[in-house]
Chain A
């Protein structure tokens, strides 16, 4: 038997109580694991770049910009690569099954964000032969169960074709994987020339431009230069980094980070109160035995360490279960929901586990430590 065995056996003295505690801790860490994975994943902004700039209309992202801006932006000496895009939002099958299509010039996209998206020469070659070909992101392909060679129809919400139909038919030419698990791949890349030629209105306009500055050039300085270029024109622009863009986009709905922190904070405070209460009672029930241990020579510090180790054991079990389940969820549905259980998520989880278990164990541990032997013996 070791010192830790003694703590473990104390913890399992009332199995039902311990199981309930472990389950409540597991649920709290599952909530943490899922929300933190959500933030770290493509639904958050962790995978967005600070270097890639997006140029949209200052009047709003829904307002188109003329294609003629391309040449003027491209003429800026600080611009290393420049592409353009038009977004096509629609659904496949049912209206709830929303998909996004980014219509662009793939040759121009490659030097801007080809590396981040995981675009390979083979994928570029695959999309070239026909104008209706698309590249589908891994997350979208997995979620829809699509495969290369398959033909899919996207019904556009607000981009009708010139024949009056809203159905856009594409052939899947390849699947791009994304550079890392946190890269957003829940969309498809179509050819701009196809979409532009077939759409009923807004021909030769784009929803925005994406550009990459030369190395050594500050993205924020370049952003200011681009916006200054069109400040007094009919189409003033707003230039932001991809990360700023995504953060602003997500804030349209809510401050996701704040919500996540509030949910996790509330669940941990509740957990803390439940476990402190339970542990205080559990240790109080054993006051007499703590007196026995002290009589055998266990010091105040040793008694305190025993109670803290017991709390740590309960938290380690529950935390491992919760974080394990969160990891399992990211493995099973992570690509569809944009969940990434990264090492920082795990590290922060373990740090929270250690801090909360020590905070929880401190009160009962101090009570146990301070109980005089004679007082402990009177509790029988």
Chain B
């Protein structure tokens, strides 16, 4: 793997509200957050606290109504949808709760998907896929379809897809929410490895305190505000 780009995250005075019918429901107002490059942060909080909205904004899926959102050298709050898509393709990987693998593609093809957006030859793409398959412990399973894999294996494919472009930032949305304890621990160990050994900045939204225990620090979000921060011992 090449040296990942530094992904310092900086939110300043971010505001976000959703319009439901005629009503406006505020989610954040003046939210500040700073995550250093190479950090591993868990975000916990009750349902409706704004965890998913925050993750969506960090992923460039949603944009803030006000304030600034800077990741590395990029101002996501100033980007249009097309620019944010291009930014995601090059700077970020995302791991979903339900893996979100495409059922008609093999594990290797699912992992290869983000590489289709890069100017790489078929051979280069295959080499990268093989490398991450090995990294997540799925050597030789590249030709299997997701339906024939366990939840833990599918999540490892999901992680491999997230890191195959070698992004500096990994966003994880309840990555262990659909896994048994053993598979969850394996997935979390892998995220820990990616953070420690490869320097990935990881932001993980979770309900699971054990999962949050793998992070370097945990931020507790409630009603759109960070109310507590705990650091790993």
Binding site for B on A (CB under 8 A): 1-3, 5-6, 9-10, 12-13, 288-289, 292-302, 373-374, 380
Question: B17 an interface residue at 8 Å Cβ cutoff?
Answer: no
Contact B85 A300 (CB under 8 A): yes
Beyond A12-B104, A289-B102, A380-B98, list 8 extra A-B contacts (CB 8 Å): A9-B109, A10-B104, A13-B103, A292-B100, A296-B113, A297-B85, A373-B61, A374-B61
Say what secondary structure dominates the interface of chain A: helix
Q: How many residues on the B side are at the interface (Cβ–Cβ under 8 A)? A: 29
Residues of B within 8 A of A299 (CB): 82, 85-86
Checking A6, A294, A301, A380 against B116 with a beta-carbon cut-off of 8 angstroms, the contacting residue is: A6
Closest residue of chain B to A12 (Cβ to Cβ) is B104
Contact A297 B105 (CB under 8 A): no
Residues of A within 8 A of B85 (CB): 294, 297-300
Contact A295 B88 (CB under 8 A): yes
Contact A297 B102 (CB under 8 A): no
Q: What total count of A-B pairs have CB within 8 Å?
A: 64
Contact B61 A298 (CB under 8 A): no
Residues of B within 8 A of A289 (CB): 100, 102
Closest residue of chain A to B109 (Cβ to Cβ) is A1
Residues of B within 8 A of A302 (CB): 117
Complex alpha-carbon distance, A25 and B116, angstroms: 30
What is the 8 Å Cβ interface bit string for chain B, positions 108-146, against chain A (1 contact, 0 not)?
A: 010011101100001001000000000000000000000
Complex alpha-carbon distance, A111 and B105, angstroms: 68
The 4 A-B pairs of least Cβ separation, nearest first, read A297-B89, A297-B88, A373-B61, A299-B85
Binding site for A on B (CB under 8 A): 56, 59, 61-62, 81-82, 85-90, 94, 96, 98, 100, 102-105, 109, 112-114, 116-117, 122, 125, 161
Contact A298 B117 (CB under 8 A): yes
Contact B105 A293 (CB under 8 A): no
Min CB distance, B93 to chain A, in Å? 9
Complex alpha-carbon distance, A294 and B60, angstroms: 10
Contact B102 A295 (CB under 8 A): no
Contact A9 B105 (CB under 8 A): yes
Residues of A within 8 A of B90 (CB): 297
Which of A13, A373, A374 has the most C-beta atoms of chain B within 10 angstroms of its own C-beta?
Answer: A373
Complex alpha-carbon distance, A159 and B7, angstroms: 97
Complex alpha-carbon distance, A297 and B82, angstroms: 9
Residues of A within 8 A of B122 (CB): 2
Complex alpha-carbon distance, A123 and B190, angstroms: 87
Complex alpha-carbon distance, A13 and B104, angstroms: 7
Complex alpha-carbon distance, A289 and B98, angstroms: 12
Residues of A within 8 A of B98 (CB): 380
Contact A295 B112 (CB under 8 A): no
Residues of A within 8 A of B116 (CB): 1-3, 6
Which of A295, A297, A300 has the most C-beta atoms of chain B within 10 angstroms of its own C-beta?
Answer: A297
Min CB distance, A369 to chain B, in Å? 10
- Chosen A-B contacts, 21 in total, with CB atoms closer than 8 Å, are A1-B105, A1-B112, A2-B122, A3-B116, A6-B113, A289-B102, A292-B102, A294-B61, A295-B59, A295-B61, A296-B114, A297-B86, A297-B88, A297-B89, A297-B117, A300-B81, A300-B82, A301-B82, A302-B117, A373-B56, A374-B62
